């Protein structure tokens, strides 16, 4: 693509007055971008219902931008605009029937994006403690095996998936229903900042674009396209996670569902997916095996003798106070043991201050 064509296209993509759906309908190629940018009236007349209004919006934005280099302006904000011709562009989104013309990215994790090792974890905003625990367990397991965890930064399941991945020092991608420079929901500001530093923020929307109801389904289609498989942890009958799963089905992605109590309305959507043929997920180890990883077992060798009882108490997650009560030991003694076991790679510290045994490859497996 010629520099003039690229600048015209990126300028149009950044236009805050053009809806992404309209731009996808209008854009047919690099030369189109130049015509729309320089002579919008001519380019748009036969493609939209009100071409003069659209042309006015483009001219208004062109007046604001002037002759400046639009990508330098983005760089000053820490934002990169990725076009399909760019090596960092995640080409799996081109599988969509209506792929984005471009994607905005913040962070460096996109430099080595690998769709074959990216998993979406989605679910309800009104998550139960069980749902949050399941999302954390699955994302932690996936991230420690090199998978990128993809989600939408929403409250509930999404946030737990992102948080647990970062706690495990893994890579995560948040796909936004607003501009890449805005945090939504605002309560996830700290998480959003951490993802920018250690993962990647993706958005189809121009900087400054605020959320709108119709943008969430558009966002969900990108989550599905970016991922090798979609894992639905907890979803009611009207959950946006079901929209992501539907897009995944259309794209031929594998759909996994974590089951819940049949009495809970907050799992009915997830259970419908199971009835429709989604795969049951009761242990993330099963998911790893589906993608070529050997089964893992707990390694009990080389445990310091003085900490065997402590190690054996960590079959399920527990914090130091609980362990001190169970073992009738001073909490300072428990902390000393947990530190030694953690440094030895035998236990892992979890979000919220809990601990759990770390699984390792069984002897003889590779």
Whether 285 and 300 share a structural domain: no
Q: What percent of the chain has pLDDT over 90?
A: 59
pLDDT for res 363: 36
C-alpha 12: how far from chain center: 26
pLDDT in tens, 12-33: 999 988 888 888 888 888 888 8
State the CATH number of the domain containing residue 181: 3.40.50.450
Parallel, antiparallel, or unpaired: how do β-strands 200-203 and 172-176 relate? parallel
Confidence band, pLDDT 50/70/90 cuts, at residue 366? very low
pLDDT for res 364: 38
Whether 243 and 153 share a structural domain: yes
Whole-angstrom distance, CA of residue 127 vs CA of residue 264: 11
Q: Could you tell me if residue 103 is inside a domain?
A: no
Whether 276 and 308 share a structural domain: no
Whole-angstrom distance, CA of residue 100 vs CA of residue 81: 12
Phi-psi bin for 208: left (phi > 0), alpha (psi -120 to 50), beta? left
The pTM assigned to this predicted structure is 0.80
Mean pLDDT of the chain: 89
Total of domains in the chain: 3
Q: Phi first, then psi: what are they for 325, rounded to 5°?
A: -70, -45
The residue segments making up the domain with residue 41 are 1-71
> For residue 344, how many other CB atoms are within 10 A of its CB?
14
Q: What is the pLDDT averaged over residues 159-176? A: 94
Whether 351 and 336 share a structural domain: yes
Which residues, other chains included, contact 92 with Cβ-Cβ below 8 Å and sequence gap of 6+? 115, 225, 226
pLDDT for res 351: 72
Q: With DSSP H G I counted as helix, E B as strand and the rest as coil, what are the percentages for the chain, rounded to 5? A: 50, 15, 40
Selected residue with higher pLDDT from 148 and 365: 148
């Amino acid at each position: 693509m010629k520099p003039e064509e690229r600048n015209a296209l990126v300028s149009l993509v950044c236009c805050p007055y053009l809806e992404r759906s309209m731009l996808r309908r209008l854009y047919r190629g690099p030369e189109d971008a130049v015509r729309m940018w320089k002579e919008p009236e001519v380019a748009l007349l036969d493609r939209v219902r009100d071409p003069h209004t659209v042309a006015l919006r483009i001219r208004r934005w062109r007046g604001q931008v002037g002759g400046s280099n639009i990508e330098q302006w983005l760089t000053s904000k820490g934002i990169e605009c990725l076009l399909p011709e760019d090596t960092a562009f995640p080409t799996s989104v081109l599988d969509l029937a209506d792929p984005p013309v471009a994607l905005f990215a913040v962070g460096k994790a996109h430099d080595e994006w690998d769709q074959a090792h990216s998993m979406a974890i989605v679910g309800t905003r009104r998550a139960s403690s069980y749902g949050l625990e399941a999302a954390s367990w699955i994302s932690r397991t996936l991230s420690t095996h090199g998978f990128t965890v993809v989600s939408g930064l929403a409250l509930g399941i999404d946030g737990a998936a992102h948080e647990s991945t970062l706690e495990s020092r893994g890579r995560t991608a948040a796909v936004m229903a607003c501009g890449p420079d805005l945090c939504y929901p605002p309560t996830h500001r700290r998480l959003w900042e951490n993802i920018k530093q250690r993962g990647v923020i993706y958005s189809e929307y121009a900087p400054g674009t605020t959320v709108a109801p119709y943008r969430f389904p558009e966002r969900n289609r990108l989550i599905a396209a970016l991922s090798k498989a979609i894992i639905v942890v907890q979803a009611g009958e009207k959950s946006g996670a079901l929209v992501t799963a539907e897009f995944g089905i259309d794209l031929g992605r594998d759909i996994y569902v974590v089951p819940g109590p049949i009495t809970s309305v907050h799992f009915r959507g997830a259970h419908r997916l199971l009835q429709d043929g989604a795969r049951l997920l009761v242990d993330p180890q099963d998911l790893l095996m589906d993608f070529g990883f050997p089964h893992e077992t707990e390694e009990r060798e080389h445990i310091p003798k003085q900490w065997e009882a402590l190690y054996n108490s960590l079959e399920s997650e527990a914090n130091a106070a609980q362990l001190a009560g169970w073992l009738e030991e001073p909490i300072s003694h428990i902390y000393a043991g947990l530190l030694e076991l953690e440094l030895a790679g035998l236990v892992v510290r979890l979000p919220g201050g809990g601990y759990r045994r770390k699984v390792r490859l069984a002897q003889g497996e590779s």
